[in-house]
Structures are given as structure tokens and as C-alpha cells.
């Protein structure tokens, strides 16, 4: 249980009078972190475990090191395909004519034939479930007009998402000089994909797909080992090693694990699973406050209304070690006395979340509604009280 909201701001007796109507903070204990078992010892060249709700890294090693990502690249190809579907630029039932280049792609394939027409949905399943390089190339050519244009979109999107250690040369992950991603960037991309396209993310949960009479199973083996794992993407080349980006949700908490450069299929599965189990076992995500929820209704001088509700723009969650949520406390700090006009969205202070005595999150607090200037009498009266109060 989170300790009740404490509200502080500069001001005199009017501010104090309002403060007494708000929930007060009960005494907090001095934060002494309970022992948290060490993270699993992994042989992967780099890895990261990310809490989805808070975007907080739980554990990592060399997470910003750019390395060949192999077919994990297809997460970005899927992201752009989902984006095109969501925007209406393409549809799942669109027919895509398979080019000779797509047909000739080596490596993992869904076995589409040159000159045939295949739906976007079939290509998505062929790329995500079967990791088909032919499907990824066909999608890239259809969405971008040609592969080069699509790759430019991939790199522009990576830059927009803050994937600073990522550069793409193709939509498949086929080995190419300079084609690199970091574990942190991959986790960011998978997180955004889940967040922006929850309805289309279902394809990553699909365990098998049959095309042309050939049934292939999802290479993401954790889907078959844990019912709470709901998708991700594998990758393997000689340079990349065996790689896996995966996500799972359990007990109201979602985690994303990325392991890069392991030495076998079994190793990547075991090490990603170990990361997820570590996170679920020893940490929890706590929902602090919802975006748009009224945290307080402080006094506003010179406005049409005496009070204006304030709160957060977006939902706020924090990650804490298990059995320590009772040490959480939140406090609202307002930036002095508030005066009209106030517009919805104007920053008026900040919300601070503490675990014991340690601040672990801070977010801006904004006005949740407009409060225009009041009439001349109201402004004159409030000017007097401001003078008196100070």
C-alpha cells in the first residue's frame, strides 16, 4: 500500500488551510534496501532486462554495445508494417506480388514463389512466426516502394525512438557491414511495438503457421515453455550468435528480456528465461497514480474559480523490490501560489515518489482544466489576500 499523498507549496494561511483538507503523509521508515539476490550469471555477450511499465532497467551487461542483431531486425520491419496498417496506408488483406529478389532470399524462408500474390497478413505471419527473409523483403518492397526506401524509414524510425546504437542496412538482418543494434535499443523497440500495436502484437504469440502446405513452428521456444510468455523474436548468424528478444506478463507486470551472442539455441532460451524469472521473482511494478486523476485542487488566485484540479499527464508506475511497496510515499510540490489564467496542461508543480528516503521518480504536475481570469472585483479581492498572505 502506498502511503498517502503529502502536499507542500509556498504560501501563507490560505495555502495552509487547504493543505489540512488533503491527505497527509504518515511517518515513513528510513529506507534500508532488503537484500535482493544477485542477477543470474549469464554467458551472453550482452543482455538487458527491462520493466515495461516504468521503462526501468533491472539488470544489464553491455546493453549499449552495438552488435549484429540477425533476424531480431525483423522487429523493426514488423513495427513499420504495423504502423502502415494502423495508419490505413496498407491493409491486412492487400495482395502483394512477390518479386524475384524476395523469392531468391536465402536463410529462413516461408517459401513464397516469384510472381505469386500473397496477403500482407500471410507475409506478416511468415516473417514473424517463420522468420522468413523472403516475407520480410516482400513487405519492405510493398511498404517502401523498394528496399532502399524502406531501410531509410527503418533508420529514421530508430532515430525517432531514441535507438542511438542502431543502424540498419536491410529489413531482414542478413549479415551486412554496419548493420548493428544494441540490447537496450532492441528492448526499446519491442516495448514500443507492444505499446503502440497491442492488437497486432498477437502475431508474435502465434506458435505455428502453415503456408503452401509447409507447417513451421515459431522459433521462440519460450512460447511453448511458459504460458506467460507472449512473444518476441529470435535471431542467429555466425557473427551474431544466438539471440532472443522476448516479453512476458505475470501478476500484472510485464518484462522484456534481450540476450545477444549466446552459443546455442538452448542457451538463448535458458538465459532469457532466467532473466524473466529473476525479474518476476524479486521485483514488482506498482501503479502510483493515473494520468488525469485529480491529485489536489489548490487555491488559484484571480481566477473565475477559486480552485483548479491538478494531476499527471500520463499514468505513473514505479518498479520496487518485492515486499517494499509499503515504503513508498508520494508528495506533491506546487510552484508557489497559483494565479489565473491557467490553461489545461500548464505545469504547476511536480509529484515525487520516494522509496523510504530515496526519490525514485518525479513527474510534472499540470492543471487538469482551464481557469480564466476572473472579473475586476475578483482580481482586486485576491490581490489583497495575496498581499496579506505574504
Positions at the binding site for substrate: 233
Q: How far apart are CA 367 and CA 300, in angstroms?
A: 11
- Strands 208-211 and 214-217: what pairing? antiparallel
- Among residues 190, 215, 206, which one has the least CA distance to residue 129? 206
- Is this structure's pTM higher than 0.75? yes
Considering only CA atoms, which of 322, 382, 330, 380 is closest in space to residue 354? 330
For the annotated binding site, the residues are: 233
For residue 226, list its beta bridge partners: none
- Hey, what domains does the chain have and what are their CATH numbers? 3-32+287-389 (2.60.410.10), 64-262 (3.40.710.10)
CA distance 86 to 120: 13
- Residues taking part in catalysis: 71, 74, 131
The one-digit pLDDT tens for each residue of the chain (390 residues) are 666 566 655 443 333 333 333 333 322 222 334 456 788 999 999 999 999 999 999 999 999 999 999 999 999 999 999 999 999 999 999 999 999 999 999 999 999 999 999 999 999 999 999 999 999 999 999 999 999 999 999 999 999 999 999 999 999 999 999 999 999 999 999 999 999 999 999 999 999 999 999 999 999 999 999 999 999 999 999 999 999 999 999 999 999 999 999 999 999 999 999 999 999 999 999 999 999 999 999 988 888 899 999 999 999 999 999 989 999 999 999 998 888 899 999 999 999 999 998 999 999 999 999 999 867 766 667 566 667 766
The pLDDT of residue 300 is 86
What span, in angstroms and rounded, lies between the C-alpha atoms of 362 and 201?
Answer: 31
Place of cell 531480431: 72
DSSP 3-state of 277: helix
| Res 27: pLDDT | 25
Count CB atoms within 10 A of the CB of residue 225. 11
8 A C-beta contact, residue 258 and residue 241: no
**Residue 307 DSSP class:** B
What pairing do the DSSP bridges indicate for beta strands 241-250 and 229-237?
antiparallel
Q: 365 near 348, Cβ under 8 Å?
A: yes
Instruction: Specify which residues 180 forms β-bridges with.
Output: 167
DSSP β-ladder status, 338-339 and 300-301: parallel
| pLDDT of amino acid 373 | 81
Q: Are 24 and 8 in contact (CB under 8 A)?
A: no
Q: Which residues lie below 8 Å from residue 130, measured CB to CB, with a gap of 6+? A: 108, 109, 110, 209, 211, 216, 218
Contact of 49 with 60, CB cutoff 8 Å? yes
Reported as half-sphere exposure (CB side, CA atoms, 13 A), residue 204 has a value of 28
Please tell me the distance from the alpha carbon of residue 341 to that of residue 45, in angstroms, as a whole number. Answer: 55
β-bridge mates for residue 106, sequence order: none
What's the alpha-carbon Rg for the chain, to the nearest Å? 26
Looking at residue 382, its pLDDT comes to: 59
- Residue found under cell 490553461: 343
At 83, is the secondary structure helix, strand, or coil? helix
Amino acid at each position: 500500500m502506498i502511503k498517502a499523498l503529502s502536499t507542500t507549496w509556498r504560501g501563507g494561511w490560505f495555502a495552509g488551510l487547504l493543505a489540512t483538507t488533503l491527505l497527509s503523509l504518515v511517518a515513513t521508515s528510513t529506507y534500508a534496501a532488503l537484500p535482493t539476490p544477485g542477477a543470474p550469471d549469464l554467458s551472453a555477450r550482452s543482455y538487458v532486462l527491462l520493466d515495461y511499465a516504468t521503462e526501468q532497467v533491472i539488470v544489464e551487461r553491455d546493453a549499449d554495445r552495438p552488435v549484429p542483431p540477425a533476424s531480431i531486425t525483423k522487429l523493426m520491419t514488423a513495427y513499420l508494417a504495423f504502423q502502415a496498417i494502423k495508419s490505413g496506408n496498407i491493409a491486412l488483406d492487400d495482395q502483394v506480388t512477390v518479386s524475384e529478389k524476395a523469392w531468391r532470399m536465402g536463410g529462413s524462408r516461408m517459401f513464397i514463389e516469384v510472381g505469386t500474390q500473397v496477403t500482407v497478413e500471410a507475409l506478416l505471419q511468415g516473417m514473424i512466426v517463420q522468420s522468413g527473409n523472403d516475407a520480410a523483403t516482400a513487405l519492405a518492397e510493398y511498404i517502401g516502394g523498394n528496399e532502399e526506401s524502406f531501410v531509410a524509414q527503418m533508420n529514421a524510425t530508430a532515430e525517432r525512438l531514441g535507438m542511438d546504437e542502431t543502424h540498419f542496412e536491410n529489413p531482414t538482418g542478413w549479415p551486412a557491414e554496419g548493420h548493428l543494434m544494441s540490447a537496450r535499443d532492441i528492448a526499446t523497440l519491442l516495448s514500443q511495438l507492444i505499446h503502440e500495436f497491442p492488437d497486432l502484437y498477437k502475431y508474435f504469440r502465434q506458435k505455428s503457421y502453415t503456408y503452401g502446405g509447409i507447417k513451421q513452428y515459431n522459433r521462440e521456444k519460450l512460447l511453448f515453455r511458459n504460458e506467460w510468455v507472449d512473444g518476441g523474436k529470435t535471431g542467429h548468424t555466425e557473427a551474431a550468435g544466438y539471440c532472443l528478444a522476448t516479453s512476458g506478463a505475470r501478476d500484472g507486470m510485464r518484462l522484456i528480456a534481450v540476450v545477444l551472442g549466446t552459443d546455442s539455441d538452448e542457451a538463448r532460451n535458458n538465459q532469457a528465461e532466467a532473466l524473466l524469472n529473476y525479474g518476476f521473482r524479486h521485483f514488482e511494478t506498482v501503479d502510483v497514480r493515473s494520468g488525469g486523476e485529480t491529485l489536489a485542487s489548490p487555491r488559484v488566485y484571480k481566477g473565475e474559480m477559486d480552485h483548479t484540479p491538478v494531476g499527471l499527464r500520463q499514468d505513473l508506475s514505479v518498479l520496487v523490490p518485492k515486499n517494499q511497496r509499503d515504503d513508498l510515499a508520494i508528495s506533491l510540490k506546487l510552484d508557489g501560489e497559483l494565479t489565473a489564467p491557467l490553461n489545461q496542461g500548464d505545469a504547476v508543480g511536480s509529484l515525487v515518489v520516494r522509496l523510504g528516503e530515496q526519490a525514485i521518480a518525479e513527474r510534472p504536475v499540470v492543471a487538469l482544466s482551464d481557469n480564466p481570469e476572473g472579473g475586476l472585483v475578483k482580481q482586486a479581492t485576491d490581490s489583497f489576500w495575496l498581499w496579506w498572505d505574504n
